[in-house]
Amino acid sequence: MDQKKRIFSGIQPSGDLTLGSYMGAIKSWAALQEDYDCLFCIVDMHAITVRQNPADLRRRTLEQMAQYIACGLDPEKNIMFVQSHVPQHAELSWVLGCYTQFGELSRMTQFKDKSAKHADNITAGLFTYPVLMAADILLYQADLVPVGQDQKQHVELCRDIAARFNNSFPDTFTIPEPFIPKMGARIMSLGTPENKMSKSEPDGCVFLMDSPEDIARKFKRAVTDCETAVRYDKENKPGVSNLLTIYCAATGKTIEQAEADFAGQGYGVFKPAVGEAVIELLRPIREESQRLLKDKAYLEAVCKDGAEKASYLATKTLRKVYKKVGFVAR
């Protein structure tokens, strides 16, 4: 029997999960768990490249695990864990940092963007973030990494680091491929539809744990344009096109069907209908997350079990790396 390909992916607990995180990533992860050997991580070590409130970070980490499960990720089928619970991530990151060029890191688009946004806090961690990301992936000999367009550059760097290390020490790492899932919809901000919906800009976000009233209000206020026609035209009607994308992702309809549904109806009917579709999509996720969060012992057990399984795989890779670079065995 063919061995299943291995997938690694993770999301930072730096803010609450959004509709964009669900439709763009987690929903497609749930579809991958049947056909692949999956590791889904909560990358809390990456989150501290920007200052976090410690109590909030702890709360969001457990909330995110509950939301992963509520979104359909099964802890029995996948390895689901918290990054800081597996110290081999930091250990491999140091070794890989010694095989990464300064110039490569300084060219990373995300470093430039984040440095501009947080000019008062440009840390070494922010600069070397892609090395830790490479360690996350290479530690588990992942074949595929589901990523959005914004992280693709980091996966390319990961491939370069792995190839460079393999040139010196053959057959150490699997060279991973970026994997952009077909079903992932790119969801834009409700306030500025030119930008991706991002937890770092909460104004245009719908969060998985928002109440139905909040969701309805956010969609009524969503930015559109001065026409009334509901049609998909990303260039001239970014707001309406984004709402159509969301409506289709929530209902399973095609863009053509959605345009037909709202032909001649105007935005006064369209926007609340999109809100209603999202409310029904997120209702079971919110309710199941709330139920799981009441059982902290269960969530902690999932984290512990996941960390043990991840650690077993990570130790095998790290031992091989340490031996090849010349460290004396522990």
Q: Where are the alpha helices (DSSP H) in the chain?
A: 19-21, 27-32, 44-47, 54-70, 88-97, 102-106, 109-117, 124-138, 152-168, 212-220, 238-251, 255-261, 267-293, 296-325
In Å, how far from its chain's centre is CA 220?
Answer: 27
SS3 243: helix
DSSP for 251-317, written as a single string: H---HHHHHHHTTTT-HHHHHHHHHHHHHHHHHHHHHHHHHHHT-HHHHHHHHHHHHHHHHHHHHHH
- List, by residue number, the catalytic residues: 114, 196, 199
- Tokens standing for residue 214: 């909040």
Contacts 24+ apart (CB under 8 A), 257-263: 258/230, 259/230, 259/231, 259/232, 262/230, 263/230
Show the tokens assigned to 261: 């549904």
